[in-house]
Structure 1
Amino acid sequence: MHRRTRRLSEGFPKLVKKNSTTLVLGHAASGKSLWAETYLRDLSEKKIYVATAQLWDDDMRAKARDHAARRGSDWQLIEQPDDLAAICAGAGADQTLLIDCATMWLTGLMMAEADWQGPATDWIAAMATGPAHYIVVSNDVGGGVTPDNALARRFQRAQGALNQQLAAAADRVVQVTAGLPQLLKGTL
């Protein structure tokens, strides 16, 4: 029996215009980052990985090392836990930025008790007017139960609001579950 192997990005549109944004949503460990990396790897443009996580513990440091090893050496790395607007505004037309991830960016701001709405508005505006391609990875937190504490509930509401803003501004939205992509917005 011959089985055809599908590439993770097969069947999805190539980025056809400059200044496009793709939002990749999924639950924790859903395969969204791997899908986004593979999708971007198939493009012929300069690849930039924008890491938003603050490496607070050994587990986070190990996860960052695993992601870096999986990507390989042909990616430029920018570590930026807070000012995504400046990174996106400064990108060139020949570049594609993979921002991984909006959830860790939001977590860092909320842990610092900083405003996130203003920076989110600035970030989304920078992607809308910048010349590059932008791929944003974010956790979908709307499919779970209501958290049992106030901080977690506040985070869930903020993440949901941020995802809605990103999805409204994006040219395409892809939901990844168990490594399988489903196009929610955009055309094939």
Structure 2
Amino acid sequence: MSSASDVHLILGGARSGKSRLAQQRAEQWLNSNSDGGLTYLATATAGDKEMSTRIARHREDRDHRWQTLEEPIALAEALLATPKSHCVLVDCLTLWLSNCLHQGAWECERDALLRCIDERCTDGSSNASPWIFVSNEVGSGIVPLGQLSREFVDAAGWLHQALAERADSVTLAIAGLPLTVK
């Protein structure tokens, strides 16, 4: 993983292994960049016991090298606040999307994220630490019946397309295996 912008998108379905793959890639980057660090930027909120359990399991999967930040809405702002020497793993964009939709902040926050990435891609920094985005691929199923569900699937699809266009690499995780898309 090396380029001027070093932006990576990892997509997959539920329990596809996308988060594990993203964590492995970040840790591999750190192994070859001893002066770097790792930041896990979590977008989930623990709204119930099951989600609390999921969050705890994800925390247990990360060792002492990881710094964890939690930001359910202002993702671009949080990315800009991370140390430039850190590989940042954002997990997950679809939870962030859901949070933003429920707060009525989707368009503003989406635009802020894309501007943030665009500025990173054009600033000429040849040794930017990677940003790895994890997201659920939700567009492979049937069109949902409810308006909010359709809005969510559409927004996720458009976001993934916009990120894939900007990303240096796109990987689809299937059954724990990476499939390189870009």
SS of 1:99's partner is strand
1:16 is aligned with what amino acid?
S
Q: Match for residue 126 of structure 1?
A: 116
**CA offset at residue 20 of structure 1?**
1.1
Which residue in the other structure is 2:22 paired with? 36
Q: Which has the higher contact order (CA 8 A, sep 6+)?
A: 2
Q: Sequence identity, in percent?
A: 32
Q: Can you list the C-alpha shifts for 1:52-104, whole angstroms capped at 9, x where unaligned?
A: 01111011110000011011221000000011111222333311100001000
Runs ≥4 residues deviating over 6 A:
none
Deviation at 1:125, TM superposition (A): 2.2
CA RMSD of aligned residues (A): 1.4
Q: TM-score, normalised by structure 1?
A: 0.85
CA contact (8 A) 1:49 1:98 kept: yes
Contact kept in structure 1, 2:39 and 2:82, CA below 8 Å: no
Number of equivalences: 170
Q: Structure 1: which 5+ residue stretches go unaligned?
A: 1-14
Q: Tell whether the 8 Å contact from 2:3 to 2:168 is kept in structure 1 after alignment.
A: no
Q: Which amino acid aligns with 2:26?
A: L
Partner residue of 1:144 out of 141, 144, 151? 141
Q: Given residue 5 of structure 2, which amino acid in structure 1 is its aligned partner?
A: N
CA distance in 2 between partners of 1:102 and 1:83 (Å): 12
Shift of 1:18: 4.8
- The answer for the alignment partner of 1:84 in structure 2 is 75
The structure richer in helix per residue is 2
Check the 8 A contact 2:75/2:113 in 1, yes or no: yes
2:61 aligned to 56, 70, 73, which one? 70
Structure 2 residues without counterparts, runs of 5 or longer? 31-35, 121-127
TM-score (norm 2): 0.88
DSSP-derived class of the 1:147 partner: coil
In 1: Cα distance, 2:3 partner to 2:86 partner = 12
